[in-house]
């Protein structure tokens, strides 16, 4: 495997390293067992078999990987085995899946396989809309024997909120648009709250903040939590992209991860992010 070290637009180092690489067609047993857990379809977990672990032990890369998913209609993005250095990145501590207590792992036995790495929020999370923190019990976002907690999953297209958090979130978004009633008409499509809009969504819809442990916040602009549907009557229709989770779990998928540099710092047991136009990479 060959690697480039790039600073700005300049290639400053070219190197290579031998790695064991392959794929599996099936896996049985308890996927949450730390001895066999692959931590994602790409297998970039913390076990020695993962590519990132092999490269780290050889001194080729830091024990870090990053991605930047494009937010435009073309999709795509960049996966970096190593760190993307960006001064605006903020970090929050994590609990990786194989360190969850046994009862928590049991609650997640039927959880989806994450594309890159399943990571659980270590501390309480809160949600703010237009700077106002919503009245949601922060414990619904933490993994316990009863709750499935919060994960960051690049293999999930949308985002899902625990049942107790979903309705307050939608109500706060809708309430914030009430002062622009001349530009917004409420619609419900397939059970989702939608809005028929005749103006720019950035002028009508509020900013949302996901607040994590360590004082880090992920700021979501309207296009980070809304999805545009077909236009009707000459007006654009936007729907809330967050879905109500069928269980007590919150999944932050590509809806909120796009156009952000996401850094998975395995050594520091933390995740970092910063807004970025990923089409520039």
DSSP track, the chain: -EEEEEETTEEEEEEE--------S---S-TT-TTT---TTTT-SSSTTSHHHHHHHTTSS-SEEEEEE--STT--EEEESS----TT-EEEEEEEGGGS-HHHHHHTTTPPPPSS--EEE-S--EEEETTEEP---GGGGSB-SS-BEEEE-TT-SSEEE-HHHHHHHHHHHHHHHGGGTTTEEEEEETTEEEEEESS-HHHHSPPEEEE-GGG-EEEE-HHHHEEEEEEETTEEEEEE-EEE-SSSEEEE-HHHHTTEEEEEETTTTEEEEEE--GGG-
104 pLDDT above the threshold of 60: no
Q: Mean pLDDT across the stretch 194-200?
A: 94
Give the model's pLDDT for residue 85: 80
Percent of the chain topping pLDDT 90: 37
Mean pLDDT of the 30-39 span: 54
Highest mean pLDDT among 19-23, 39-43, 55-59, 185-189: 185-189
Question: Please, what sign has the CA dihedral across residues 120, 89, 262, 128?
Answer: positive
What would the pLDDT profile of 109-127 be if each residue is shown by its tens digit?
434 335 444 555 545 789 9
Higher pLDDT, residue 182 or 101: 182
State residue 86's pLDDT score.
83
The neighbouring-strand residues paired with 91 are: 272
- State the pLDDT confidence band at 41, using cuts at 50, 70 and 90: low
Number of domains in the chain: 1
Amino acid 111: pLDDT: 41
What pLDDT does 224 receive?
95
Rounded to an integer, the average pLDDT of 200-214 is 93
Q: Which residue has the higher pLDDT, 52 or 174?
A: 174
Please report the pLDDT score of residue 255 as a whole number: 93
Name the pLDDT band for 269 (thresholds 50, 70, 90): confident
Q: What is the pLDDT of residue 63?
A: 87
Question: Which CATH number does the domain housing residue 144 bear?
Answer: 2.40.70.10
- Under the banding of pLDDT at 50, 70 and 90, the label for residue 222 is very high
At residue 147, the pLDDT reads: 66
State in Å, rounded, how far the first CA of the chain is from the last one: 21
What pLDDT is stored for residue 119 in this prediction?
56
- If we measure between CA atoms, which residue out of 232, 180, 237 comes closest to residue 205? 180
Q: What is the pLDDT of residue 256?
A: 94
User: Whole-prediction pTM value?
Assistant: 0.81
Q: What is the mean pLDDT of residues 180-202?
A: 93
Per-residue model confidence (pLDDT) at position 154: 82
Q: Chain-wide mean pLDDT for the chain?
A: 81
Domain of residue 92, residue span: 2-280
Q: Residue range 81-108: average pLDDT?
A: 67
């Amino acid at each position: 495997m060959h690697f480039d070290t790039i600073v700005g637009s300049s290639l400053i180092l070219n190197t290579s390293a031998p790695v064991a690489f392959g794929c599996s067609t099936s896996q049985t047993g308890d996927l949450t067992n730390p001895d066999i857990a692959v931590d994602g379809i790409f297998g970039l977990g913390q076990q020695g078999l993962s590519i990132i672990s092999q490269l780290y032990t050889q001194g080729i890369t830091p024990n870090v990987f990053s991605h930047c998913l494009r937010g435009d209609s073309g999709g795509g993005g960049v996966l970096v085995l190593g760190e993307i250095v960006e001064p605006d990145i903020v970090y929050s501590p994590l609990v990786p899946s194989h360190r969850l207590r046994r009862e928590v792992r049991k609650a997640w036995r039927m959880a989806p396989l994450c594309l890159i790495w399943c990571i659980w929020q270590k501390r309480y999370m809160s949600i703010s809309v237009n700077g106002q923190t919503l009245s949601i019990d922060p414990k619904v976002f933490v993994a316990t024997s009863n709750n499935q907690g919060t994960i960051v999953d690049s293999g999930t297209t949308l985002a899902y909120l625990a049942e107790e958090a979903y309705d307050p979130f939608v109500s706060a978004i809708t309430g914030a648009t009430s002062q622009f009633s001349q530009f917004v008409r409420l619609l419900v499509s397939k059970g989702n709250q939608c809005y028929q809009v005749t103006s720019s969504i950035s002028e009508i819809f509020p900013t949302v903040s996901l607040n994590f442990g360590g004082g880090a916040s992920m700021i979501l602009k309207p296009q980070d939590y809304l999805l545009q549907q077909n236009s009707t009557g000459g007006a654009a229709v936007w729907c809330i992209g967050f879905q109500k989770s069928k269980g007590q779990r919150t999944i932050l998928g590509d809806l909120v991860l796009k156009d952000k540099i996401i850094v998975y710092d395995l050594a520091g047991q933390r995740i970092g992010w910063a807004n970025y136009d990923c089409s520039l990479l």
